[in-house]
Structure 1
Amino acid sequence: MDTDHVETPGLRELTRDLVSTPSHDDPTAAGDAIEAWLRAETDATVERDDHGNVFGRVGDPAAPTLALVGHHDVVPPGDPQVETDGDGGERYVLEERDGRLYGRGSADMKGAVAAAMSAVRDADPDGVELCFASFVGEEVGGVGARAAIDDGFAPAFAVVGEGSTNYSGEGVTDVVVAHKGRRASTLVARGESTHASIPEEGVNAVYRACDAVDVVREMAFPETTVMGESVRGSVAVTEIDGGSAWNVVPDRCEVTVDERTVPGERAPLADAEAVEGVEWTVEQDLPPMACSDDAFADAALDAARGVQTGTPEHVVKPHATDAGWLANAGTACVICGAAESGEAHTDTESVSYEVLDRCYRIYRAVAEGASAFA
């Protein structure tokens, strides 16, 4: 797949070490491993903040900052992905075959974290401070990224190492210039309970909820365009819960709504409150991302094109990442990483070693060619 493919020194070993370290309940051990490696193997100024995020910086601290961003927490492993070690603790099962590493977190996203760490070790940044950042809590709503931003983390540019491989075509690592966000909300309809034999003496909350669902059903999906790429969101009612017994008119009914948001556009879900007795509440709002700097997005694509025989493209990712929080805070973001669509969060999660080497070279090329955008 790659032109003149060369194995990155130490990358496979580092990836195996990070992937084998459990980090679904507590990411501390994985953070320890990252911090220790950066201190031993790089000239970076290394910091571990109070939240557990790990940073390593090289280059001119007075220059604009280019961040290589990842996360070292993972979703809980499946039964085939965990085993007991010799001390009675847990470790993640690793398996290598056909040039791939299998294990929880290999694709999402410790492989890309290892590639970024290796790039920080080897790169000679061109007119930027190069910052490696690995966050905690990405899988539970961007907890680490949000805390870091609140503490002042504000790089001018960021390459977020979430998956972008095989989006435009098989064997190609693309550059994501936009992704959808997710807004989870509820519509709660309230009525007045009565015996089902005399429904006219009550107010049926389920009927009010159904009227609100009809409002949602008629909403157009949010959509926009980012750098010529179409981004189309969605709105869907996913759950409905109301009533307490077959012979009681319900006085409460709750409807769950999943909205995939796009940059700059939202569905007008508050319109459902026009139905009497209905209240709309946002439960979670993961922001979408749109790259705010064309020159940076083009430079990242040029770097990706320079290290592979395929033809990568600017593409759109369907789900939210920490890039949304960074972009929302003013950082120009792209996403480029080894994970392929459908690999993350599965019991057969894996990553290609060859693509990890490719990502290393992309990250290094972006840093060493930063004068094109910084």
Structure 2
Amino acid sequence: MSEVLDLTRRLVSIPSHEDERAAGDAVATWLREETDATVRHDDSGVIARRGSGTDSLALVGHHDVVAPAEEQVACGGDEYVVEERDGRLHGRGTADMKGSLAAAMVAFRDADPATELVFASFVGEEQGGVGARKAIDAGFAPDYAVVGEGSTGYSAPGVTDVAVAHKGRRGSTLVATGESAHASEPEAGENAVYRACDAVDVVRDLDAPETTVLGRDLRGSVAVTEIEGGSAWNVVPERCTVTVDERTVPGERADLERTESVPGVEWVVDQDLPPMACDDAAFAETVLAAARDTQDDAPERVAKPHATDAGWLAAAGTTCVVCGAAEPGEAHTAAESVAIDVLERCEEIYRRVAESHPTGAA
């Protein structure tokens, strides 16, 4: 059994959907025992540093997971089920993202870094980047980062690509207010549902944001996903809310402020997960070259549809790409799994990148 596989099995077996401390302790303990790095474990996660140089390169992941399906929990509930079959490792967190995390840990230990090498495993990624945001607020600011979220299987099945951009998500609510009245005399009130419907018409007319990042086209979206209003069949409603899901792209947003041109409508942002765009073509090429050297197929620059902690890092000034073992459709499922050979490939990619200058110079 390879060391990356063994470490992945150990990390995956530790429950971390409600309480991430045990998984964080395991990551920190391994780093302290296996490396000479300076290791810090706090409420943002685990951060370790080794090497020196004018630039810093971070290998970034997270050790929290979404709640497992019943069949992914062992009897007694104190461990997750981890099974190996048909060249894949099955279990909650194998793809998202303890497999790539284990690959990054081994690469962090084994690399002869060309610059300061940083390892970070954050908490709360599944809750909107809680740990990454805390670390950034406390001064976490690597120059470059490879975030180990999934990038395998985008250009072709089994190929580990390099994502140079991903979408963000802005979730918001349109709050329409009016004045209640008896439904037999609707003109005596102001119907909040009608106002909400007028605002929905504004949303339907908005253009979806789009952009291009290092040759990859990225198109966002905006959609109404929920509507709720009214209190009784015979009462003109005084309040109605509309939920809007917007997938953002770097530098562009849908003009949702226009909904407030409707009388009685307020637009409230509930969540804003930032998109990511790699701002350094040379760094993207360095990672792509490492990916190319570790597989027979030809990896490509790709764009991901999902937000990751790379968005928070990029917004704070870190040059990022995403490169990891998970394939589309694996994360957050009852059948979650990851290809074992791809885990080992990712360890080699991370190590090769760490041993190259981040800008691609020798």
Rounded to whole Å, the distance in 1 between the matches of 2:158 and 2:15 is 29
Equivalent position to 1:12, from 5, 14, 17 = 5
Instruction: Tell me the residue number matched to 1:185.
Output: 172
- Secondary structure of 2:334's match? coil
Instruction: Tell me the residue number matched to 1:125.
Output: 113
Cα deviation 1:91-114 (Å, max 9, x = unaligned):
101111011110000000000000
How do 1:128-143 and structure 2 match up within 5 A? 128-143=115-130
Equivalent position to 2:214, from 223, 227, 247 = 227
Counterpart amino acid of residue 121 in structure 2 = S
Cα deviation 1:322-371 (Å, max 9, x = unaligned):
00000000000000000000000000100111000000000001111126
Rounded to whole Å, the distance in 2 between the matches of 1:342 and 1:131 is 29
Rounded to whole Å, the distance in 2 between the matches of 1:129 and 1:52 is 21
Deviation for aligned residue 1:83? 1.8
Instruction: Tell me the residue number matched to 2:335.
Output: 348
Answer yes or no: is the 8 Å Cα contact 1:28–1:52 preserved in 2: no
Rounded to whole Å, the distance in 2 between the matches of 1:31 and 1:159 is 20
Answer yes or no: is the 8 Å Cα contact 2:286–2:358 preserved in 1: no
Cα deviation 1:205-226 (Å, max 9, x = unaligned):
0000000000000000000000
Equivalent position to 1:276, from 263, 271, 279 = 263
Rounded to whole Å, the distance in 1 between the matches of 2:41 and 2:78 is 24
Residue 105 in structure 1 maps to residue 93 in structure 2 = yes
Deviation for aligned residue 1:43? 2.0
Equivalent position to 1:114, from 84, 94, 102 = 102
Rounded to whole Å, the distance in 1 between the matches of 2:51 and 2:147 is 19
- Secondary structure of 1:296's match? helix
Equivalent position to 2:64, from 60, 73, 84 = 73
Equivalent position to 1:55, from 42, 47, 50 = 47
Rounded to whole Å, the distance in 1 between the matches of 2:319 and 2:31 is 25
Answer yes or no: is the 8 Å Cα contact 1:120–1:130 preserved in 2: yes
Rounded to whole Å, the distance in 2 between the matches of 1:135 and 1:84 is 28
Equivalent position to 2:293, from 287, 291, 306 = 306
Instruction: Tell me the residue number matched to 2:22.
Output: 29
Residue 96 in structure 1 maps to residue 87 in structure 2 = no
Deviation for aligned residue 1:52? 4.4
Unpaired stretches in structure 1, ≥5 consecutive residues = 1-6
Cα deviation 1:156-203 (Å, max 9, x = unaligned):
000000000000001100000000000000001111100111111111
Counterpart amino acid of residue 245 in structure 2 = D
Instruction: Tell me the residue number matched to 2:38.
Output: 45
Answer yes or no: is the 8 Å Cα contact 1:31–1:52 preserved in 2: no
Q: TM-score, normalization: structure 1?
A: 0.95
Q: TM-score, normalization: structure 2?
A: 0.98
More moved, 103-112 vs 33-42: 33-42
Rounded to whole Å, the distance in 1 between the matches of 2:38 and 2:300 is 34
- Secondary structure of 1:370's match? coil
Deviation for aligned residue 1:138? 0.2
Rounded to whole Å, the distance in 1 between the matches of 2:180 and 2:44 is 49
Rounded to whole Å, the distance in 2 between the matches of 1:145 and 1:373 is 26
Rounded to whole Å, the distance in 1 between the matches of 2:260 and 2:360 is 46
Rounded to whole Å, the distance in 2 between the matches of 1:202 and 1:373 is 66
Equivalent position to 1:245, from 232, 255, 263 = 232
Across the aligned residues of Structure 1 and Structure 2, the Cα RMSD in angstroms comes to 1.1
Rounded to whole Å, the distance in 1 between the matches of 2:123 and 2:5 is 22
Deviation for aligned residue 1:63? 2.6
Deviation for aligned residue 1:10? 1.4
- Secondary structure of 1:272's match? helix
Rounded to whole Å, the distance in 1 between the matches of 2:31 and 2:169 is 34
How do 1:187-202 and structure 2 match up within 5 A? 187-202=174-189
Unpaired stretches in structure 2, ≥5 consecutive residues = none
Counterpart amino acid of residue 91 in structure 1 = E
Counterpart amino acid of residue 199 in structure 1 = P
Instruction: Tell me the residue number matched to 1:82.
Output: 73
Counterpart amino acid of residue 129 in structure 1 = E
Residue 323 in structure 1 maps to residue 310 in structure 2 = yes
Instruction: Tell me the residue number matched to 1:255.
Output: 242
Answer yes or no: is the 8 Å Cα contact 2:44–2:132 preserved in 1: no
Percent identity between the two aligned chains? 69
Answer yes or no: is the 8 Å Cα contact 1:163–1:338 preserved in 2: yes
Rounded to whole Å, the distance in 2 between the matches of 1:369 and 1:192 is 65
Rounded to whole Å, the distance in 1 between the matches of 2:45 and 2:138 is 11
Structure 1 pair 228–139 and aligned structure 2 pair: CA distance change class (3 A): same
- Secondary structure of 2:173's match? strand
Number of aligned residues: 361
Answer yes or no: is the 8 Å Cα contact 1:22–1:90 preserved in 2: yes
Rounded to whole Å, the distance in 1 between the matches of 2:118 and 2:51 is 9
